[in-house]
Amino acid sequence: LQSLSKERFCRSLQRLVPEVRITDLETGGSGVRAQAMSPAGDLVQDFQIVRGEEALHVLNAPSPAATASLAIGEHIAGLLDW
């Protein structure tokens, strides 16, 4: 219900940022999240890291990638030949 009412949404934001005003808010569409698919057409649910000849590619980093970013970075650093 809160997502349908700009006023209620604004009030909930004001608990975190009291200065925010309803005039600061703009209506927008939902986001799109890219996610890798397997050759069979299924969503890849885990991190997919592929080594090339001279590069390392993170092909898929679904949620909670942002939360786990430091651990992912540590893992990737461990894969590199320094």
Tell me the per-residue pLDDT of 23-59, one tens digit each, with 9 for 90 and over: 999 988 777 777 888 899 998 888 888 888 888 888 8
CA distances from 18 to 11, 21, 23, 35 (A): 9, 8, 13, 36
The CA-CA-CA angle for residues 15, 18, 24, to 5°, reads: 110
The DSSP symbol for 51 reads E
Q: Report which of residues 79 and 31 the model is more confident about.
A: 79
Q: What is the pLDDT of residue 2?
A: 60
Tell me which residue has tokens 């080594």.
51
% of the chain residues with pLDDT over 70: 94
Predicted structure pTM score: 0.46
Q: Is the model more confident about 3 or about 10?
A: 10
Percent of the chain whose pLDDT exceeds 90: 29
